[in-house]
Amino acid sequence: MTPEFVIAFAKQAITLTILLAMPMLGLGLIAGLSISVFQAVTQIQEMTLTFVPKILAVFIGLLFAAPWMMEKLMAFTTNIITNIPMYIR
């Protein structure tokens, strides 16, 4: 294993991690921004009001994105396992 291989492998793992986290983080961000605007307009400053919509948005996004996320993770894992003989040389 060369240093270039290790760097490329780490880059691929980090890229996949960011790609899988972005939909949930984006939905949480959108829900948080919309609740913040609602709170600013109505002057309701309840801290617990922000948690429930964000959690629901992330869970609903997870329901829809879970098959795609599993496909990406399984492809990455399959690639790693099938290439183990090349890695140990």
Taking only the tens of pLDDT, the chain with its 89 residues reads 788 988 999 999 999 999 999 999 999 999 999 998 998 898 888 878 888 899 999 999 999 999 999 999 999 999 999 988 988 87
Tokens in use for 27? Answer: 């939905």
Residue 31: exposed, middle, or buried by beta-carbon count in 10 A (0-12, 13-18, 19+)? buried
Residues 20 and 72 sit within 8 Å (Cβ to Cβ): yes
**Residue 48 confidence (pLDDT):** 80
**Residue 72 confidence (pLDDT):** 96
> Cα 15 vs. chain centroid, distance in angstroms?
10
**Residue 29 confidence (pLDDT):** 95
**Residue 65 confidence (pLDDT):** 95
